[in-house]
Amino acid sequence: MSASGTGYLGAGSTVRTRIALVYGGVFLVLGALLLLVVNLLVRAGTDGQTEAIVARAGDVALVEAYRIGDDIGRAAHQQMLMWSCLALLVIACGAVVVGWWTAGRVLRPVHEMTARARRLSERDLGGRLAVRGPDDELKELGDTIDALLGRLEAAFDSQRRFIANASHELRTPLATQRAALQVGLDEDCEVRQVLLDTNRHSERLLDGLLLLARSERGLAEREDVPFGEVVAEEYEDAAVAENGVVRGSRVLLRQLVRNLVANAVVHNVPGGFVDVRVAGGVLTVVNTGPVVPPGDVEALFEPFRRGQGRDRTGPGAGLGLSIVRSIAVAHGGNVTAVARSAAEGGGLTVAVTLPVTATRS
Quick: pLDDT tens for 191-228. Answer: 777 777 777 767 766 766 666 566 666 666 788 999 99
**Structure confidence at residue 150 (pLDDT):** 79
Q: Which residues contact 38 (CB under 8 A, 6 or more apart)?
A: 84
Q: Which among 166, 247, 172, 169 is positioned nearest to 214, based on CA atoms?
A: 166
From the number of C-beta atoms within 10 Å of its C-beta (0-12, 13-18, 19+), residue 120 rates as middle
Distance CA 241, CA 304 (A): 34
* pTM given for the model: 0.52
Q: Which among 92, 100, 94 is positioned nearest to 14, based on CA atoms?
A: 100
- 3-class DSSP state of 352: strand
Q: Which residues contact 359 (CB under 8 A, 6 or more apart)?
A: 242, 243, 244, 245, 280
**Structure confidence at residue 62 (pLDDT):** 58
List of the chain residues with pLDDT < 70:
1-13, 42-73, 76, 121-126, 133, 160, 163-164, 166-168, 201, 204-205, 207-220, 303-319, 361
Question: Cα-Cα-Cα-Cα dihedral of 104, 105, 108, 110, to 10°?
Answer: -90
Q: Which among 273, 258, 234, 250 is positioned nearest to 320, based on CA atoms?
A: 258
Tally Cβ neighbours within 10 Å of residue 151: 10
- 3-class DSSP state of 39: helix
Check if the beta carbon of residue 113 is closer than 8 Å to that of residue 144.
no
Distance CA 329, CA 285 (A): 18
Distance CA 64, CA 52 (A): 15
Distance CA 229, CA 278 (A): 10
DSSP secondary structure string, 213-225? HHHHT--S--EEE
Distance CA 225, CA 184 (A): 45
**Structure confidence at residue 349 (pLDDT):** 94
